[in-house]
Chain A
Amino acid sequence: MSEHHHSPADPSIRAKALESLLAEKGLVSSLAIDEVVRKYEEDIGPLNGAKVVARAWVDSEYKTRLLTDGTSAVAELVGYNDDHSAELVVVENTKEVHNIIVCTLCSCYPWSVLGLPPSWYKDHAYRSRVVVEPRSVLEEFGLHLSRDIDVRVWDSVSELRYMVLPERPNGTDGMTETELAALVTRDSMIGVAKVEMPPSQQ
Chain B
Amino acid sequence: MASGVHDIGGLQGFGVIDSKDDETTFHAEWERRVFGMMITSGHRMISMRPAIENIEPETYLESSYYELWLIALETGLMDRGVISQEELTSRAVDFVEPASAPSRNDDPGMTDEVLKRRYSQRSKRYSGTPRFKPGDRVLVHSEQKARHTRVPRYVRGKLGLVQSVRGVYELLDLKVEGVSVPEPVYSIRFDARELWGERKEGNGSVCIDLWDSYLETQL
Which residues of A are at the interface with B, using a C-beta cutoff of 8 A? Answer: 1-2, 4-7, 9, 11-37, 40-41, 45, 71, 75, 79-81, 83-87, 89, 102, 104-107, 115-120, 122-129, 131-137, 140-141, 147-148, 150-160, 192
Contact = CB atoms under 8 A, between A and B. Distances in A.
Given A80-B120, A87-B167, A23 B21 contact: no
Contact of B95 (A17, A37, A120): A17
User: How large, as a class, is the contact surface on chain B?
Assistant: 35 or more
Nearest to B122: A84
B27 to A, nearest CB: 9
A29 B121 contact: no
Of A34, A140, A159, which is in contact with the most chain B CB atoms at under 10 Å from its CB? A159
A115 B115 CA distance: 17
Contacts of A37: 26, 32-33, 35-36
A120 B167 contact: no
Given A20-B95, A106-B6, A151-B201, 13 more contacts: A11-B67, A12-B28, A12-B29, A32-B41, A81-B119, A106-B49, A119-B21, A132-B9, A141-B17, A147-B203, A150-B204, A150-B205, A158-B169
Contact of B54 (A1, A31, A40): A1
A122 B8 CA distance: 11
B128 interface: no
Interface of B: 6-12, 14-19, 21-26, 28-30, 32-37, 39-43, 45, 49, 52, 54-56, 59, 61, 65-67, 70-71, 73-75, 77-79, 82-83, 85, 87-88, 91-92, 94-96, 98, 100-108, 110-111, 114-115, 117-123, 150-152, 154, 166-167, 169, 172, 185, 189, 195-196, 199, 201-211
Contacts of A45: 24
B40 A128 contact: no
A120 B59 contact: no
Contacts of B25: 40-41, 116
B147 to A, nearest CB: 11
B209 A156 contact: yes
Contact of B79 (A2, A17, A30, A131): A2
Contacts of B77: 18, 22
A75 to B, nearest CB: 8
Contact of B45 (A24, A27, A71): A27
Contacts of B199: 133
